Structure 1
Amino acid sequence: MITKRILNNAKLFPNKDAVVFNGTTVSYGDLAKSIHGKVLNGNDSSGIGFVFNTNPVETLCSVLASNLLKRPVLVVPEDFPKRNLDKHTETGIPSDAFIGILTSGSSGKPKTVWKSNDNWELAFKHQSEVFSVGKEDKVFVLDALSYSANLNAALHILWEGGTLVLGQLKKANKWQQMLEEREVTSCFLVPSHCQLLLQDGFVNENIKSLVTAGEKLPAKMAKELLEHFPKTILTEYYGAAELGHITYHQNADIYNFPHSVGKPFPQVRVEVKDDKVTVSSPFVSSEYKENGTVDDLGYFDKGDRLILKGRSGRMFNRRALNIYAQEIENIALEFDSVEKAVLVESEINQRLSLYFTTNSKALGNDEEELAAFLRECLPSSKMPSFVKELKEIPHSNAGKVDFRALSKMSGEDKIMNIAS
């Protein structure tokens, strides 16, 4: 059990720093006391526990206490409407449920995914090996613990006996200073947040492991990260809340094979059936073990690397032709100045719009050139109807692309028509 391992760590080194947050340090001994206190208060409770992530240290203690009580707990964002909670617990909860995560994938409609203790704990030893993280490390993770990957990374380092250093997105301008002052040795961040570490020529030789997931890491950014963190092992992994860790690749493989998401994680079997990616592993939630898929589409290249075409919700059918968002986005990313690219369907007229950001200083200068590049690379049947350069792509608090915001924008914006 995850909590028992962490409590044992507290017995072995009670004075060691367990969590650092907002200028405050919590030792393993104090963390254990807080967990035990919540266990005593929760002994008479039954049913599902709800944890609003208002304070990440309290969230961790509540989750770990619930784990010890074998009581399912649902972790929700601080601003999530309380009136909507019931609909996320109406359906049957698996008997082995430990933690519930609200996830929306590309649909924008939240749903609850239940993970068992074993779904995560059985993966921890492999995460330690693959990510090169252990009890001597100090791992930087954002405090948005309602995002499953952040919570997983946080519990993993406490399970290992290392130190969790929690950052805040609103204080991103202090991250570089924080990494140095706290002598952080490892980071877990989604790509859009990794980008924030590359500002002002920042270089850090103390980071030995940098892990990213949640969206595709652009090849250009991978190269930059390896330049700014010269002693790091850079790992990009592909996974889903429902299925756990699926594939990964590291360092030069990330930019040498930019369309790939790597090869299977330890103990994971990946198959592609009728273009649909299916997964079998101990990390798959019980509700998804039979089908083993979240409807991601892909194929294996000649080197047995998995290439994703996108999620079925991001596959658009035009006159009996399937257009995969990730295929169009990958081509756009090959254009020199493009840093990010997202293809969406308008909520209003179902036309396809490509939004992108660049490293150019003048906004809008690259739209015509990118349009011409796309015409050279794509058949006319796959061309987006519109293209628009943005200063930045909208993201959720968890750092994932906000597809719904872009879909709404594509129906309202006057953006450059490139269909001709």
Structure 2
Amino acid sequence: MNYFNLLCDIRENNRNKNFLIIDERVYNYNYIYKEIDNIQRILKNSIKFDGYNILIFSKSFYFQVISFFVSNALNNIPIICHHSLSYKLLKEIISKNNINYVISDEKLEFDEEEIVKDLSEEIKHIYVYKFNSKDKILNHKNICFGAFTSGSTNTPKVLYRSYESWTDYFYTQNNIFKIDLKSILFMNGSLSFTGNLNTLLSVLYEGGTIVTIESLSPRRWIKSMKDNFVTNIYLIPSKLKLLSQVAEEEISNIKSIFTGSELLFNDIAHNLKNNFPKSEIILYYGASELSFITYITYEEMNLKPLSVGRPFPGIKVFIKKDCIYVDTKYHVFGVEVPCTVNDMGYIDKDGYLFLQGRKEDIINKNGIKISLLKIEQEIKKIKEIIECVAASYDNSLKGNEIAVFIIIDEDINKEDILNKLKNKLMPVEIPKKVFFVKSLPLNDSGKIDKKKLKDI
């Protein structure tokens, strides 16, 4: 069983129902099925099938969706790649992750012998590239798809998942997030981010509808939500912050807003509750390797600020040597549970989990342990700031020092920021360097790549 098979099953009773609404272009279940079926028939003459790694390289949401299902239709393993990668890193990813083919909607600067076929005449803007990887990955029969995470090196690695490792939990997560057959869910961003991919497939599982605007335009998001009678929202907290800043009136048909990847601060949650009064607001904590771990509701956020909640049903969480360990059966291949992804934290007397950052995010300065995550949290609370990341650097005289990289929405200077922090942080926690940037480097999972900050 794979996700093309699931799409076929759902389509049987929902042929004329909208599956995707992308920048106001509407595609029903039957149209998507026929598009996928047509492409996979043509590709059968160009590529091998049954267990090959297919890297999908595109910034188009539609192309990512179609290529994902086409790969599954050919019984291959789709892996959606983050689009803003250099060719050098893309080649390293292909080489080190045993990628057999790349499918893209743009001509890529690979060697001529790596181009299998220019299919843009038969299928609009589809190019296929073949690489001299191993024949296929071992023990592929239970592998349905792959997703990238950052390893200990600069080259992202593929994590492989079975169909059941996500679908067996869809019923539980959809019940918590209020996703059902009637759901019309708004989301934004690339499907290379596993949170987006999981959300899309969980809505498909119910036979619901996905709505997206591809640009980072919160006012367009609001209009789309109204025009399409959206019932659910999935956005990361930094995007929810943007949404809360432009929402000017109540939208009463939203029944759930769920988010992950970052902390959701109380002031943003309050603003969202005012604008979407009938919504259940949920923050979850998860990991690409382990899927969902804990979650917290809006009411609980008021009681336990900065907590990421208590475990999802069937998931066990405990602390060992300050590290968070998780016991779950919904993990990627190659993981032995209980497992840690090296996040640090603690569980309070009521069973709520609090994050302190990764091991590398805890630095020792003058004998005091400092959490870079805590510093980021306090800076992100400043209303003029859109995004922030803290990093340590070595000072030859004073040891570890702290630098912050900040994206601002309104005018604010370094002195104002540091003055606001003086009431929230210890003197030793105050950053020594502040950099104002227009964007932050992302890894293949769509998350901030701290290793690349040194190049800024």
Specify the TM-score bucket, using the shorter chain as the normaliser: 0.7 to 0.9
Q: Write the deviation string for residues 106-132 of structure 1: whole angstroms up to 9, x where unpaired.
A: 986523222221121112111210101
Distance 2:42 2:235 in 1: 34
User: Which segment is superposed worse, 30-39 or 280-289?
Assistant: 30-39
Q: Which residue of 2 aligns with 1:352?
A: 402
- The code of the aligned residue for 2:34 comes to K
Spell out the pairing of 1:16-415 with structure 2 (5 A cutoff): 16-41=17-42, 43=44, 44-46=48-50, 47-80=52-85, 81=87, 82-90=90-98, 95=140, 96-104=142-150, 109-203=155-249, 204-290=251-337, 292-318=339-365, 321-330=368-377, 342-346=389-393, 350-354=400-404, 362-374=412-424, 377-378=425-426, 382-386=428-432, 388=434, 390=436, 394=440, 396=442, 400-404=447-451, 406-409=453-456
Q: Which residue of 2 aligns with 1:413?
A: none
8 Å CA contact retained: 1:344, 1:407: no
How many correspondences in the alignment? 405
Q: Which residue of 2 aligns with 1:418?
A: none
8 Å CA contact retained: 1:284, 1:292: no
8 Å CA contact retained: 1:345, 1:407: no
User: Which segment is superposed worse, 274-283 or 332-341?
Assistant: 332-341
Q: Residues 149 and 385 (structure 1 numbering): CA distance in 2 closer, same or farther, change over 3 Å?
A: closer
1:9 partner SS: helix
8 Å CA contact retained: 2:93, 2:156: no
1:200 shift after superposition: 3.6
Q: Residues 13 and 405 (structure 1 numbering): CA distance in 2 closer, same or farther, change over 3 Å?
A: same
User: Which segment is superposed worse, 392-401 or 230-239?
Assistant: 392-401
Q: Which residue of 1 aligns with 2:101?
A: none
- The code of the aligned residue for 1:62 comes to S
8 Å CA contact retained: 1:213, 1:237: yes
- The code of the aligned residue for 1:51 comes to I
- The code of the aligned residue for 2:79 comes to L
Distance 1:357 1:77 in 2: 21
Q: Which residue of 2 aligns with 1:416?
A: none
Q: Which residue of 1 aligns with 2:114?
A: none
1:352 shift after superposition: 1.1
Q: Write the deviation string for residues 243-275 of structure 1: whole angstroms up to 9, x where unpaired.
A: 101110111222431221001112211111111
Q: How well do the aligned residues superpose, as a CA RMSD in angstroms?
A: 3.1
Distance 2:410 2:54 in 1: 48
User: Which segment is superposed worse, 21-30 or 337-346?
Assistant: 337-346
Q: State the percentage of identical aligned residues.
A: 24
User: Which segment is superposed worse, 72-81 or 218-227?
Assistant: 72-81
TM-score by length of 2: 0.79
Q: Write the deviation string for residues 298-349 of structure 1: whole angstroms up to 9, x where unpaired.
A: 1101110011111112122335654222234445567898786542113787
Distance 2:215 2:394 in 1: 29
Q: Write the deviation string for residues 18-62 of structure 1: whole angstroms up to 9, x where unpaired.
A: 111133211111122223334434554252112123432232233
Q: Write the deviation string for residues 65-122 of structure 1: whole angstroms up to 9, x where unpaired.
A: 3334442221112343342332341496664322222223898652322222112111
TM-score by length of 1: 0.85
8 Å CA contact retained: 2:166, 2:198: yes
Distance 2:408 2:280 in 1: 26
